[in-house]
Amino acid sequence: MIKICAFGELMVRLTANNKSTFSSLPEFVEFSYGGAEANFLANYANLGGDSYFISVIPNNTLGIASLRQLAKFNINYDFVKKIDRGRMGIYFVEEGIANRGSVVTYDRKDSSINYLKFEDYDFHDIFSQVEHFHISGITPAISENAMYAAIRSVRLAKEMGLTVSCDLNYRSKLWNYNLRDKKIDPELVMSEIASYCDYIFGNETDIQQFFKIDIRKKEYLYENQDLVYYENLLLQLSKRFPQTNIIALSIRNSKNSSINYMGGVLYKRETNQFYFSQNIDGDFEEYLIDPVVDRIGSGDAFSSGFIFALNKYESLQDTLDFAVASSVLKHSYRGDFSYATLADIEDLMKGNIYGRIKR
C-alpha cells in the first residue's frame, strides 16, 4: 500500500449535544477534533495505509492534545509544526435532524496555519518519503499564506513525481480574505490547484460553485438520479482539466437531514469510460442511509477510500464501490473521523445493508 501525505488544518470541533442548537444552551457541548485532510488520513490509516500529516498547531495544551488524536489513528505527525503564534481553529456544528438542516460556523481567524508560509514547512523532505499527496479546497480558502502554500505544494509534488489528489470541498463561509486589495477569486485558485491533480473528488455543488459549470438536471424524488447529467458534468470538468485522468463524485440525494441516499460516479479520461456505483446485481442503486448519525467527513471517507481501493483492486468498478461504501458507513459514526474497517466496508459491498449482528 502506498504512503500518502496531506496538508491542511486540524481544528477543534464543538458540536451541540444530541442534535440540538446553540440557541438552546445551556446544554452539553461535544468536544472533538477534525478537518478535511486529517479526516482523509485517519480513514486511510484505519484501513491499513501509512499516513503523514503536514500542518501546524499552537504550542499549547489544545494543540498537543490534537496530536494524540492523530496518534490514535497511527497518523505520522513528524511534519506538524508547533509554533508560539496563533491558536487552534474552531468550528461549531449544529447537526440537522428531520427537516432542520445542519449549520456550521467557523472561527478560524488568527489560527496558527495563517502565520506559516510554504518555506516554513518541510515539503521537500516529506515528499521524498511518500508516493501520494492530497489536499482539499478548504486549505486555500483559509488565508493568503495557506493559499500560496497549497498551490506551491501541489506544484512541487508533481515535480517530484508524486500522484496528487484534490477534494474540492467548496465552503461558502470561507474564501473571505483579500489578495492585492481584491476579494480572493476561488475559481482562479482552484483552477490552478486542479491543473496539477491526477485525481479530483467532489460533488456536483463543488463543481458548480468553483468552476461555474451549469448543466440542466432532471429532478427526481429521493433515490432516483439523472445519470446522463452526471456524465455531462464530468465531461465538462474533464475538458477543463485534461491532465486529470480520473474524476470521482459522490452522489447524494436527501429526503431530509435524517434520511439520505448515496451513490457515486467516476470518469476515466484515458479510456473515456464512466462508472456508476453498483449493487450486488450490477445495477445502479443508491444506499439508503436512515438515520444519518453524522454526515461530516463522509466526503473525506469517499476520497480516502478511493485512493486506498485504487491500490488494492484491479477494477475501477470495485474501487468506486469501495469508496461509496466507505462514505456510507461514515454516516454511522459521530465526529469527523470514520472508524469503518476494511472488513466493514467490504461486508457492505457484498450486500449486508441491514446491519445484522455479527456473532
| Contact (Cβ atoms closer than 8 angstroms) between residue 15 and residue 29 | yes
pLDDT at residue 220 in the model: 58
Dihedral (C-alpha) 114, 118, 14, 43: value to the nearest 10 degrees?
A: 170
Q: In the structure grid, which three cell numbers stand for residue 319, read together?
A: 474501487
Is residue 342 predicted with pLDDT exceeding 80? yes
Helix then strand then coil, in percent of the chain rounded to 5, is 35, 25, 40
pLDDT at residue 219 in the model: 63
Is residue 353 predicted with pLDDT exceeding 80? no
pLDDT tens digits, one per residue of 20-57: 999 987 778 999 999 999 999 999 999 999 999 999 99
Q: Of the candidates 70, 277, 258, 36, which has an alpha carbon nearest to the alpha carbon of residue 165?
A: 36
Residue 140: CA count within 13 A, CB half-sphere: 30
Q: How confident is the model at residue 351 (pLDDT cuts 50, 70, 90)?
A: confident
Burial of 113 (0-12, 13-18, 19+ CB in 10 A): buried
Structural domains of the chain sorted by starting position, each given as residue range(s) with its CATH number in brackets: 3-349 (3.40.1190.20)
Mean pLDDT of 335-350: 97
Bridge pairing between strands 163-167 and 178-179: unpaired
Whether the bond into 58 is cis, omega within 30 of 0: no
pLDDT tens digits, one per residue of 49-80: 999 999 999 999 999 999 999 999 999 999 99
pLDDT tens digits, one per residue of 187-224: 999 999 999 999 999 999 999 999 999 887 766 555 55
Is residue 288 predicted with pLDDT exceeding 80? yes
Q: In the structure grid, which three cell numbers stand for residue 242, read together?
A: 485534461
Give, in order, the Cα–Cα distances in Å from 248 to each of 19, 238, 307, 321, 330: 31, 11, 11, 11, 18
Q: How confident is the model at residue 355 (pLDDT cuts 50, 70, 90)?
A: low
pLDDT at residue 150 in the model: 99
